[in-house]
Amino acid sequence: MDNGCVCCSVRGDLVRTLGQLATRRKDFDAILLETTGLADPAPIVYTVQTNPKMSDNYRIDSIVCLADCKHLEAHLDEAKPDGSVNEALQQVAFADKILLNKVDLVTAEEKSKLEARLRTINKFATVIETEKSRAPLDRILGLNSFNMESILTYDPNFFDDEDEKKIHNLELVQSVGIKFEGSLHAQWFNMFMMDLLRERAADLYRTKGLLSFHGQGDTKFVFQGVHEQINFGPAQKPWKEGEDRENKFVFIGKNLDRAELTKSLMECLYKEGKK
């Protein structure tokens, strides 16, 4: 590939190179695309998912963030002149897995404080501690972490109301989990998501959902999004007989209002007698 960042603007050489490698598929197990600390992975995700040459031969297995435990806090605190989100925050927000490297260079208290902060920004990412970049590959590769059904495996506690725990979140970027029972009105929910993405796509780094729709029988639906790019469809397994129809949502982004998001989503619930 040509020199330069593959994420600042996904260029034809990325598609060309991966297209050429597809003809040698039996020669490798996976492809690692290393961006830079300044990179936004969204264009790569978009290209792989929407370009037929890419989606026919590749899938995104995981978005991994390599973080320097010794210096990450300073980078998270960097203020951009225009008030926008700095690159370190974006990298953490996008990640499915965070490799927290150089943990041997900080105290247990410093590490604990940083991990707590990472959970505030992205509590749905798996944090893997490493030293000298020695990462356990079996916890990173081939796990299909970037998939629509990953929300089915999240700890139920992730969806607890943080306000009830008296946690005051001052992070510009944060993760919000929402859950409630009932069946959604498909048209109302689609309109809500269209409006949300039209107005806030740039602020929403990752979105995920587990949905029950009125009139769709036992079909369980899931979705996953990066900015405005959303993948949606039925889950592999339906709702079980007697299972609570609990909708779950994950939002990771900038300036999120959990109460407002919850209110708007619950207004999408199907109500008998209303169309």
Average pLDDT over residues 4-12: 57
Instruction: Identify the band that residue 122 occupies on the pLDDT scale cut at 50, 70 and 90.
Output: very high
Residues 217-226, buried b or exposed e (16+ Cβ, 10 A)? eeebbbbbbb
Asked whether 211 and 264 are in contact (CB, 8 A), the reply is no
What percentage of the chain carries pLDDT values higher than 90? 63
Asked whether 76 and 86 are in contact (CB, 8 A), the reply is yes
Strand partners, 227: none
pLDDT digits (tens, 9 = 90+) for 32-62: 988 766 567 888 888 888 888 889 999 999 9
Average pLDDT over residues 202-219: 96
Instruction: Identify the band that residue 220 occupies on the pLDDT scale cut at 50, 70 and 90.
Output: very high
| CA-wise closest residue to 175 among 60, 94, 114 | 94
pLDDT at 258: 92
| Residue given tokens 């978009």 in the structure block | 46
pLDDT digits (tens, 9 = 90+) for 137-166: 999 999 999 988 888 888 777 787 654 443
Q: Per-residue pLDDT for 10 more than 60?
A: no
pLDDT at 156: 78
Average pLDDT over residues 226-244: 94
| CA-wise closest residue to 213 among 197, 194, 232 | 232
How much is the pTM?
A: 0.85
Q: Which residue has the higher pLDDT, 80 or 246?
A: 246
